[in-house]
Amino acid sequence: MKAKALVFIFCLSFSIDVMAQDSLSAPSLFQTSEVINKKRRNLVVGGELLIGTTTLIGLDRLWYANYPRSPLHLFNDNDEWLQMDKMGHAQTSYSLGQSGYSLLKWAGVKEKNAMWYGGSLGLMFTSVVEVLDGVSSQWGFSMGDFIADASGTALFIGQQALWKEQRILFKWTFMPSPYAQYRPNVLGKDWTQQWLKDYNGQTYWLSIDVAAFLPKTSKYPKWLNLAVGYGADGMTGGSSNPLIVNGKSIPYFDRHRQYFLSFDINLNKIKIKNSFLKAVCKTVGFIKIPAPTLELIPGKGAYFHTLYF
C-alpha cells in the first residue's frame, strides 16, 4: 500500500519536472530533446533524488516511526489478499520505471541508458521501502513483494530491449467497494484512503497493443488495445475474513478471484499535435480507460458489464 503511493508521486513528477523547464526547452517545453540536454538531465536526476528521498524520509518519520525497530528479518505474506498486493507492487514498479525512462528520454539521454537507469527506478525505490519494512517489528522484508517489484521492472525493461516500445502496458483502476465500512481502519475510512488500502476496489490490467503484433498493412485501429485484468472481491482481512471486529459481528463474505476481458484505449497511439496534451497522456497513462467488460468468477460464472472501471 505504501509503495502504491509512489507511482502517483513520480507520474505527477513527470508533469512537474517538465513544466519547471520553461527556460530550458529546446525546441519546445513538452517535446523530447533529440540530443542530450544537460540542464534537463540534471533537473530530472536531481528532481527524482529530491522527491524520492523526501518521500522515503516522510514514510520513515510518519509511518515506521510509530512502530518499534528490529533487526532486518523476513516476513512471508504471500497468502494475503489473494495476491492483490503483489499485483500492486508489480504495477507500481512498472509505472515508476516507465516514468523514469520517459523523463530521461525527454532530457535526450541515449536509449540504452534511459532504459536501464530510468527503467530501474521503480525497483530501486520499492526495494528501499522493503528494507524499511524489514527493520520494522510490525512487518518484515517480503521476498514475495520484492519478486513482484522485480517482475514489474523486468516487464518494462524486457519489452523496451526487445521491441523498443511497450506493447503490453501494465495498468490500474479503482472503484470504491462496499466492504470498507466494516473495517475502515484496514480498508480505509474514505476514498482518499481506500484507493490505497482496499484491494477489493482495485483491478490490475495488462493492456495489449494488438496492432503492434499485426502486419503494418493491417487496418486494425492502432489505438484500440485488448485488456486482460485481475481482481479480488469479498476480502475484509488479509489471509481470512474475521466475523467479529471490535466486539461487533460483521457479515460473512465469500472471498473470490475475478478475471476480466475488456478493451482499452492506447493514449500513446492517438495522434495528438499539442505537446502539452501528449505530456498529460503520459502522466495518466497507467489508468485503464472504462470500457465494456466480460468478468469471469471461477465457480460462479461469467458476467457482462456495459462499462467497467
**Pairing mode, strands 224-233 and 301-308:** unpaired
**Exposure of 282 in the CB half-sphere (CA atoms within 13 A):** 29
- Mean pLDDT of all residues in the chain? 88
Q: DSSP assignment, residue 28?
A: -
Contact 76, 142 (CB under 8 A): yes
Between CA 169 and CA 224 the distance in angstroms is 13
> Model pTM?
0.89
Q: Which three cell numbers stand for residue 58?
A: 516522510
* Confidence (pLDDT) at 237: 97
The list of the chain residues with pLDDT below 50 reads: 3, 7, 9-27
Q: How many CB atoms lie within 10 A of CB 204?
A: 21
CA dihedral for 272, 274, 275, 278, sign (positive or negative): negative
* Confidence (pLDDT) at 67: 86
Between CA 285 and CA 172 the distance in angstroms is 10
Between CA 38 and CA 36 the distance in angstroms is 6
